[in-house]
Amino acid sequence: MIKRGLFRKPKNELEGDEKLEKRPAPNIPDEMCLTCPDCKKVLFTGRLPDSCHVCPHCGYHFRLNARQRIHLFADPGTFAERDGNLVSRDTLSFPGYPQKLEQAGLESAEKESVVCGECRIGGRECCLFVMEPYFMMGSLGVTAGEKITRLFEHALEKKLPVIGFTVSGGARMQEGVLALMQMAKTSGAVKRHGDAGLLYIAVLTNPTTGGVTASFAMEGDVILAEPGALIGFAGPRVIEQTLRQKLPQGFQRSEFLLERGFVDSVTDRRKLKALLERLLLLHERRPCDGCL
């Protein structure tokens, strides 16, 4: 098939040919450049960390793995991981699950779908959990539930706030009802931490769905979201199949949730650290504790 416009020359140099312009020059290796999936502009991979992995042209938020996020938000050199050696077990002998776990480990270079630890943000001590999208899409299983629960219990003991970044497809079905129970378990830990007067900030990133939305993601005292993130209980495809209708544009995106009153703020990743620092500062002293 002959491509249309193949023999069409640019009318003049200034007009250029869009298609030709977008293709990186042959001597530039792939890893050096990438195309923004939203505005299709070519970006230098090496410069992306400078803009917090956000497209400088259109504000598209690239997916981050857990370590990249920790690097972005924890003060340099302050992150101390906790329970980093816990791994998932195939309790139900679910077909194909051990292979999936192995593959997830290779894809993400992590042992589980969440990384937990203690760090400083803006100089203030806090506990931090960051879910890992490249480990079975951040699915919540027994071990992830255990790590998050332990983190909240540790934060309660040390009277520290918790900041949690969520990204998840939901409960991990290969662990059956045991995965479902992690929703109750983590919620209990969040509640106990909160009842002690401690702060929990949840930051929802793309995508946060299913059992994670229906548990600790929606349980923050303050809930922030990155722009354009898909956040919901049922995935859009499930709803479309159930209702046999197309969903409206922007449905279940961060901005939609803000409008409906389910998140406190939709914040650009480049301004997120500053906001977290400010929120930690604002919760540090309590008027009733005698500073008024």
Partner 1 sequence: MDAFETVRAARAKDRPTALDYIGGIFGQFTELHGDRRYGDDKAVAAGIALLGPMPVTVIGIEKGHNTKERLQRNFGCAHPEGYRKALRQMKLAEKFRRPVLCFVDTAGAFCGVGAEERGQGQAIAENLMEMMTLKVPIFTVLIGEGGSGGALALSVADEVWMLENSVYSVISPEGCASILWKDASRVREASECLHLTARELFSLGVIDGIIPESGGFSKTGALIRKQMERFLLEACQTPVGELLDRRYDKFRKMGV
52 labelled as ligand-binding? no
In whole angstroms, how close is the CB of 136 to partner 1 at the nearest point? 12
List residues near partner 1 by CB under 8 A: 91-92, 94-96, 142, 145-146, 149, 171, 173, 175-185, 187-188, 190-192, 194-195, 210-211, 213-219, 231-234, 238-239, 242-243, 247-248, 251-252, 260, 262
In whole angstroms, how close is the CB of 258 to partner 1 at the nearest point? 12
Q: Which of 234, 144, 155 is nearest to 189 (CA)?
A: 155
Looking at the DSSP assignment, which residues form a beta bridge with residue 82?
116
Closer of 54 and 202 to partner 1 (Cβ): 202
Collapsed DSSP state (helix, strand, coil) of residue 99: helix
58 labelled as ligand-binding? yes
55 labelled as ligand-binding? yes
User: Could you give the CA distance from residue 55 to residue 133 in angstroms, rounded to a whole number?
Assistant: 19
In whole angstroms, how close is the CB of 234 to partner 1 at the nearest point? 4
Q: At what angle do helices 142-158 and 176-195 cross, to 10 degrees?
A: 10
Closer of 118 and 146 to partner 1 (Cβ): 146
In whole angstroms, how close is the CB of 90 to partner 1 at the nearest point? 11
CA–CA distances in Å: residue 213 to residues 20, 64, 167, 182, 262: 43, 19, 9, 13, 11
36 labelled as ligand-binding? yes
Length of the chain: 292
93: left (phi over 0), alpha (psi -120 to 50) or beta: left
Closer of 74 and 183 to partner 1 (Cβ): 183
In whole angstroms, how close is the CB of 263 to partner 1 at the nearest point? 10
Closer of 13 and 195 to partner 1 (Cβ): 195
Please give the single-letter amino acid code of residue 193: H
> Which residue spans within 41-109 are E strands per DSSP?
42-44, 80-82
Closer of 55 and 217 to partner 1 (Cβ): 217
Kindly give the pairing relationship between strand 124-131 and strand 33-35. Answer: unpaired
Annotated binding residues, written as ranges, equal 36, 39, 55, 58
Residues of the binding site for Zn(2+): 36, 39, 55, 58
